Structure 1
């Protein structure tokens, strides 16, 4: 039987257009017993999509009775889409999640298979299984990579600006921004046209302070046990730094995530503050990009400049799917060393699979030598960047958007608006 594979999303613009217009694309089966597995993800980066495509193609070659459809969804709408599908009992066979905390409702309602004890988990480095376990120790996803939160920079842009070393303090960070601007380079590229990037522009600062001050801050805010005004993780200082660096961002609401990555790839911008998946996105635009990574320096103490690394979330199987056993076979393939190498070489990210080389990309060699080997990292596996309640998340993003648009970047006004808006969805805090 001839191999057939469908990839919906960025990789096939015709199918994406059909999806956006509400159309349904189908392929006639050549055999009445052939089965189709559906897989929804939010990968935008070319390398990540290639990894998915290569793995599913390999699977269907070995198992010609199956085909796999890959559907790429915008990251900002991803969890809302999954919840809508869960409500309508139309969940895919396989899907991705970023962290368990934000998907506990899907687990609780029976849309995530308990993977504890699955043989393919033995192929995963044990250090990276904590991020896919809940308090009871059960495993709910196959982790795929080690994600970092920090600053991605163009080394050639830094050299042009005379910046010899990445900044290790907030004062040095501002000096670097000035130096870049002085030679005509946009210091920070930001694609706020895609709203999820606003949250990720403060995520590295937010995560570092959660880790240092209160790892339960998000859940406490959401439950009304504390307020933004109470400032338990120095959220006011986080907002203040955000406001201070906004003058180094050029036209953020006229720039989308794709365009921001192009700016960094071409050396027209010096930095992007986001996740390590940015490396894949930028290098897919310009493979010759000479990139580096450094920890977001949120204080003037160089010892605080640690790189946040974690492996949480990953590939989830829907236990209500009639194809769940086949889906487990597919996960077994994606947990193999062979697919780990494909992952690292294409997605430009550290795989969680045992025994793989770490010198697959110069950007990660730097990360390994500067931070990992020297113990200058922290684990943010249990630290969220989003609120579980989607109404609260929208309020959070809207408040940050208004903060950016406010020329004065009035943090007290933003804090007050956040607490007042959150109190419409939670019980007011009594102190």
Structure 2
């Protein structure tokens, strides 16, 4: 589903992105078409570039236009990293699209603090209060609503049951030592244990983030950002545990140059049965099927294992979802579209056709996929929740987490060095 795949992270410098970003600005601002019809054009930027989501969303826009003849929805769909690059340039320009994708957290706060995002508290109160509370959380800033969710979920391991069986692994591991044993068992059968998109730094960040949560606890991960200090022993240990995995050489050949959602990338490697696992969000099955063949009944899901002796629990989850925010001063038609997109009817269609988890409680019975039900069960039983670090933290800090962890995976930084690098950037943001 696009970061969904969301192929998710990694900001490029604003200067490098400026030339790209400005080319897509026409139509921003809910402008009239200048004719006698008085049509309002609403520009909608999203990252749903993979099927079936791309076509489903386009059809929903057409449906909204049919219900609102005086409104035209102009869709701009960008792959995750390209989207982030262009948004960086637009933030610098002070002009955002009418409707734009957001993961919430520190990135959204920066946009809000810059005065670029519409406060939706009063304009959506009538209907947004009925949405799933955990889904709304990333978009609440100082108790005000700045985004409306369309998805919620968590990151976990998606695995090939047939390959696990071939390697003699009867049940998914629940501890880190058991996970490493599973990696060794898969390698012993000449099976690539894990697919990783090393070209996209956010995919490796998931491992370090989860290991930090398991060693230090979910609350400590956010507290470290607040205190601007990631040098505690637990964070260094998280790096050491990740290095222990990397030293087993568990990833596919050429992983450092692999993207996430391309035909030769991470999702395809799992979807085509070339690798046994990937650590990814709730959108993984859709992207696996789009980039590769998909595993059908052979696909399973299990939560990130606990670390023996760690302060975190296996019930503390890491993830997030997708939402939409509006530029400040967006037309009423943009608010109307968010209401349409967050309706029970639309949510049911999204759940059935695109594999998202419902954000409207009444649409929950539309969820039939066994693996997505497993994700939902984990979410409901969670005892702690941490938003993606490159979204929860301020942009520069989130980028440093991604890049430092990528460097550790590539072998150019030690566990101690990544804790020091992340802390240095955190302190610079004071």
* Category of TM-score, reference length = shorter chain: 0.7 to 0.9
For 1:128 and 1:392, how far apart are their aligned partners in 2?
24
2:251 counterpart residue number: 249
Give 3-state SS (helix, strand or coil) of 1:272's partner: strand
- Of 158, 173, 184 in structure 2, the residue corresponding to residue 178 of structure 1 is 184
Q: Is the 8 A contact 2:389 2:398 kept in 1?
A: no
- Of 308, 311, 317 in structure 1, the residue corresponding to residue 326 of structure 2 is 317
User: 2:317 aligned with 1:308, yes or no?
Assistant: yes
User: 2:96 aligned with 1:96, yes or no?
Assistant: no
Give, in angstroms, the shift of residue 170 of structure 1: 0.8
2:334 counterpart residue number: 327
For 1:31 and 1:217, how far apart are their aligned partners in 2?
54
2:30 counterpart residue number: none
User: 2:373 aligned with 1:365, yes or no?
Assistant: yes
Q: Is the 8 A contact 1:144 1:311 kept in 2?
A: no
Give 3-state SS (helix, strand or coil) of 1:71's partner: strand
**Structure 2 runs not aligned, ≥5 long:** 6-18, 28-32
Give, in angstroms, the shift of residue 282 of structure 1: 1.2
Q: Is the 8 A contact 2:132 2:360 kept in 1?
A: yes
For 1:111 and 1:252, how far apart are their aligned partners in 2?
38
For 1:354 and 1:260, how far apart are their aligned partners in 2?
32
Give the direction of change, closer, same or farther, for the CA distance of 1:309–1:389 in structure 2 (3 Å limit).
Answer: closer
1:125 counterpart residue number: 132
1:71 counterpart residue number: 76
Give 3-state SS (helix, strand or coil) of 1:269's partner: coil
For 1:25 and 1:213, how far apart are their aligned partners in 2?
40
Give the direction of change, closer, same or farther, for the CA distance of 1:229–1:203 in structure 2 (3 Å limit).
Answer: closer
Q: Is the 8 A contact 1:145 1:351 kept in 2?
A: yes
User: 2:100 aligned with 1:109, yes or no?
Assistant: no
Q: Which shifted more, 149-158 or 187-196?
A: 149-158
- Of 52, 59, 62 in structure 1, the residue corresponding to residue 67 of structure 2 is 62
2:149 counterpart residue number: 143
User: 2:343 aligned with 1:340, yes or no?
Assistant: no
Give the direction of change, closer, same or farther, for the CA distance of 1:270–1:352 in structure 2 (3 Å limit).
Answer: same
For 1:110 and 1:186, how far apart are their aligned partners in 2?
48
1:188 counterpart residue number: 194
For 1:267 and 1:57, how far apart are their aligned partners in 2?
37
Give 3-state SS (helix, strand or coil) of 1:69's partner: strand
User: 2:161 aligned with 1:155, yes or no?
Assistant: yes
Q: Is the 8 A contact 1:148 1:275 kept in 2?
A: yes
For 1:116 and 1:418, how far apart are their aligned partners in 2?
34
For 2:388 and 2:373, how far apart are their aligned partners in 1?
25
For 1:105 and 1:44, how far apart are their aligned partners in 2?
26
Give the direction of change, closer, same or farther, for the CA distance of 1:127–1:282 in structure 2 (3 Å limit).
Answer: same
Give, in angstroms, the shift of residue 344 of structure 1: 1.1
Encode CA deviations 1:144-198: one digit per residue, 9 max, x unaligned: 1222022121222222222221110111101111122222221010011123323
Give, in angstroms, the shift of residue 256 of structure 1: 1.0
Q: Is the 8 A contact 1:211 1:383 kept in 2?
A: no
Give 3-state SS (helix, strand or coil) of 1:112's partner: coil
Q: RMSD of the TM alignment (CA)?
A: 3.2
2:407 counterpart residue number: 402
**Structure 1 runs not aligned, ≥5 long:** 1-9, 11-18
Give the direction of change, closer, same or farther, for the CA distance of 1:97–1:372 in structure 2 (3 Å limit).
Answer: closer
Give the direction of change, closer, same or farther, for the CA distance of 1:207–1:61 in structure 2 (3 Å limit).
Answer: farther
2:14 counterpart residue number: none
- Of 165, 168, 171 in structure 1, the residue corresponding to residue 174 of structure 2 is 168
1:292 counterpart residue number: 300
Q: 1:232-243 alignment to 2 at 5 Å?
A: 234-243=234-243
Q: Is the 8 A contact 2:160 2:295 kept in 1?
A: no
